[in-house]
Amino acid sequence: MSETTETTGAVPAALRDWSVSWPQYTPTDVTPSELLPAALARHVPDWAEAAPTPADVPDWDRRQAHALVPYQLDGRGRPLNPHGRTGRTGRNLGKWGENQAADPIVVAGTATSARCC
């Protein structure tokens, strides 16, 4: 499997950049059912914001100004992946736009390599 296929699904490398016109681009919506507008109208999960669509987000300017990785919005007000097309669209994280996260690194060893005294 090529790197393009692994990282971007069916997006050819030559069409990945947002500046390249691709009118036929139809990404797969990956929004889980609990984040669809009808579901959010009934119940907002503890880990998610209540905005059912990007138009319902009141602070795009602040979010973009404070983003660790700068990103733009498309013509419909949806955040664009800063690295280009991925073959996926929708909201599959807690909030619209950048969702910061940290991954812990655990290092384990033995005392046999340590010198003492």
Tokens of 61: 């300017």
Query: pTM of the entire structure?
Result: 0.73
Tokens of 18: 């947002």
Structure confidence at residue 24 as a pLDDT band (50, 70, 90): very high
Tell whether the model's pLDDT for residue 13 goes beyond 80: yes
pLDDT score for 106: 87
Q: What is the mean pLDDT of residues 22-39?
A: 95
Domain range list for the chain: 1-97
pLDDT score for 5: 40
Cα 46–Cα 51–Cα 53 angle in degrees, nearest 5: 135
Tell whether the model's pLDDT for residue 30 goes beyond 80: yes
Encode pLDDT of 32-62 as tens digits: 999 999 999 999 999 999 999 999 999 999 9
Under a CB-based contact definition with an 8 Å cutoff, are residues 52 and 41 in contact?
yes
Under a CB-based contact definition with an 8 Å cutoff, are residues 30 and 89 in contact?
yes
Cα 15–Cα 69–Cα 21 angle in degrees, nearest 5: 20
Encode pLDDT of 56-101 as tens digits: 999 999 999 999 999 999 999 999 999 999 999 999 999 999 998 8
Q: How far apart are CA 29 and CA 63, in angstroms?
A: 23
pLDDT score for 64: 96
